[in-house]
Amino acid sequence: MTTKHPTNHQQHKSTTKEILIQSKNTQNLTSYNHPTTQNGAFILSRFQTTSIIKMSFFANSTPAAFGGNAAFGNTTTSTHNPMKDLEVASAPEDSVSCLSFSPAILPQNILIAGSWDNNVRCWEVQSNGQTVPKAQQSHQGPVLDVAWSDDATKVFSASCDKTVKMWDLNSNQQIQVAQHDAPVKSVHWVKAPNYTCVMSSSWDKTIKVWVFGVVLVVLFWDTRTPNPMLSLNLPERCYCVDVCYPMAIAGTAGRGLIVYQLEGQPQEFKRIDSPLKFQHRCVSIFLDKKNAPTGFALGSVEGRVAIHYVNPQNPKDNFTFKCHRSNGTSNGYQDIYAVNDISFHPVHGTLSTVGSDGRFSFWDKDARTKLKTSEQMDQSITCCCFNARGEIFAYAVSYDWSKGHEYYNPQKKNSIFLHPCYDELKPRNKP
């Protein structure tokens, strides 16, 4: 079957293009280097400067029992919400790049989102399913990733302004804690027995580690000093990273895959030949039955996911599957879309994928079975996450610029939806 290429994501040869981002409030143009696919169009994004919303965090809050007998918020029935899910209030004004729920230590469900309008936003999901905007902070460039500290008191954000900032939720104050030479693609909090650190990755071809506890020698950052405690050089620009102590995995341009072990002093563990033939887009670590990290799911721009064990007992345990593709048309063509994000359910161990086709799907990797596919949204789904108890699936609907600027429609708004999901992600019973 012949495959056409409806999106720029189909091109697997990576280049670096310059993005021009114009402010709504000024006529200044700011340039960033951003990895795009070959022949990809320039991406036009809009800066906005928004003052910090100062609110009392989590006052008079109760744990959110999502769904159940409680009213499931105010659902929207317009065409942009075909699943009739709860729509988060006061969504970002530009494309949403990342979502993260608060750790299980908090009784409430607190949702953080980073977006291309330079802002990091915070909502509380109440017990009746309503969302309450709590506060926001800003960068000088688009926010590409966010991460929580394990005690849920701080949020870290990675930005195209080449910095990582720490947001103290108790004081509502924000400080810079890390610096790169190019936009920062990811940030993760690492909690080890002998240290705590922030791990950042960038298009400057480094991973940096910034340590909070014992001094180490990779780029890991000590927030008390301006310099990282450790810097690891990558063969290419970093496109995706996931961390689950004591393991980290980084996917780079050129289809590079590097596994790191974080015990003691973080160091490279092994390099893996990519099981996918096209550019990596997202990666997520999965756990074994003892809750130890044992492998990862890797998504590509070619509508395919690889399930890969770092040390497989049987080579046949590793496999790939197709997703986020059209069923084909009468002329024999099939539309293929990028896998934009992957997230594993914290209780069941099943997984979700979201794509440029505007759908989310749930999968059972052990049974090698699809559990559910959503209706199609009117824009791409750019990112997703589960809350700590696995009751809520959050996903963002935004234009991902996969078809270039000519397909950008300013009339279509950016949205974040909350979908009750616990039963839908239960593993399929084996015959």
Q: What is the pLDDT of residue 183?
A: 98
All structural domains of the chain, each given as residue ranges with its CATH number in brackets, are 103-218 (2.130.10.10)
pLDDT in tens, 25-47: 333 333 344 433 333 322 223 32
Q: What is the pLDDT of residue 332?
A: 76
Q: What is the pLDDT of residue 211?
A: 76
Mean per-residue pLDDT for 350-378? Answer: 98
pLDDT in tens, 300-340: 999 999 999 999 999 899 999 999 998 776 677 889 999 99
Place 266 in a pLDDT band, splitting at 50, 70 and 90. confident
Mean per-residue pLDDT for 334-359? Answer: 98
412 or 36, which is more confident: 412
- Please, which residues bridge with residue 209 across strands? 199, 219
Q: What is the pLDDT of residue 40?
A: 31
Concatenating the DSSP letter of every residue in 71-138 gives ----B--STT-TT-PEEPSS--SS-EEEEEEPPTTSSSEEEEEEETTSEEEEEEE-TTS-EEEEEEEE
Q: What is the pLDDT of residue 194?
A: 85
Of 132-141, 200-209, 217-226, 276-285, the range with the lowest mean pLDDT is: 217-226
Among 118, 220, 198, smallest CA distance to 161 is for 118
Angle subtended at Cα 21 by Cα 404 and Cα 416, rounded to the nearest 5 degrees: 70
φ and ψ at residue 378, rounded to 5 degrees = -85, 0
Residues 363 and 370 sit within 8 Å (Cβ to Cβ): yes
Residues 18 and 32 sit within 8 Å (Cβ to Cβ): yes
122 or 220, which is more confident: 122
Among 185, 234, 230, 186, smallest CA distance to 211 is for 230
pLDDT in tens, 221-250: 555 555 677 899 999 999 999 999 999 999
b/e for 218-240, b at 16 or more Cβ within 10 A?
bbbbbbeeeebbbbbebebbbbb
Q: What is the pLDDT of residue 44?
A: 27
Mean per-residue pLDDT for 242-264? Answer: 96
Pairing, β 280-287 against β 392-397: unpaired
Place 185 in a pLDDT band, splitting at 50, 70 and 90. very high
Q: What is the pLDDT of residue 140?
A: 98
Pairing, β 45-47 against β 14-23: parallel
Place 406 in a pLDDT band, splitting at 50, 70 and 90. very high
> What type of residue is 346?
P
- At 297 the three-state DSSP class reads strand
This prediction's pTM: 0.82
- Cβ atoms < 10 Å from Cβ of 171: 9
Average pLDDT, the chain: 83
Among 57, 58, 99, 42, smallest CA distance to 415 is for 99
pLDDT over threshold 80, residue 359: yes
- Provide the percentage of residues in the chain whose pLDDT is more than 90: 70
Of 26-40, 99-113, 171-185, the range with the lowest mean pLDDT is: 26-40
pLDDT over threshold 60, residue 197: yes
- At 369 the three-state DSSP class reads strand
Among 261, 258, 265, smallest CA distance to 244 is for 261
d(CA 376, CA 378): 7
Place 55 in a pLDDT band, splitting at 50, 70 and 90. very low
d(CA 63, CA 116): 30
d(CA 108, CA 57): 11
149 or 50, which is more confident: 149
- Please, which residues bridge with residue 419 across strands? 393
d(CA 410, CA 342): 27
- The counts of H helices and E strands in the chain are 0, 32
